Amino acid sequence: MRSRKKTPKNKVAPDPKFGNVKIAKFINYIMKDGKKSVAQAVVYHSFDIISEKTKHEPLEIFDKAIKNIAPSLEVRGRRIGGANYQIPIAVSNDRKMILAYRWLIAAATKKKGKTMSSKLAEEFMAAANNEGEAVKKREDTHKMAESNRAFAHFA
């Protein structure tokens, strides 16, 4: 099997309001059916809610929340000698962000009875305080990696 040339990464333009690439990527994750303006409205409104409730800069809360959610270890399945092992592997920076965004959005979507922007704002504030559904997901991932540390030599 011949190795192929690596696909170049697409550059994401910074978002219009804050000029931040991370927020632009997060907006892209929220977006459904190519409706970017709707996704931007949801994210910016959630930032307004955050600044109203906490009296802090929403960008600080966003960064702190993502830092608290991003995992440093995860498990990957690998088949060795007819048995499947869950092998703990260090997570790359890009994947950390991807997982953090994904888990945060999933946690916010799971909640019921509010607008998406208010659910997102709540999840951001909870994650910034190291609590909430998304942080729990990171804890579970780390526990899995820790409990399967015996198989790390297969990596």
Confidence category of residue 123, pLDDT binned at 50, 70, 90: very high
Instruction: Outline where 55-115 has alpha helix (H).
Output: 58-69, 93-110
21-154 CATH, one of 2.60.120.280, 3.40.50.2300, 1.20.58.110, 1.10.455.10: 1.10.455.10
Mean pLDDT of all residues belonging to the chain: 91
Q: How far apart are CA 2 and CA 39, in angstroms?
A: 41
The token pair that represents 59 in the structure block = 């960008």
Q: In 61-115, at which residue ranges do the beta strands (DSSP E only) sit?
A: 73-80, 83-90
What local confidence, expressed as pLDDT, does residue 117 receive?
93
Average pLDDT over residues 32-50: 94
Confidence category of residue 24, pLDDT binned at 50, 70, 90: very high
Alpha carbon of residue 60 to chain centroid: 16
What local confidence, expressed as pLDDT, does residue 1 receive?
65
- Token pair 């690596």: residue: 6
What local confidence, expressed as pLDDT, does residue 61 receive?
92
On whether the CB atoms of residues 124 and 104 are closer than 8 A, the answer is: yes
Per the document, the length of the chain is 155
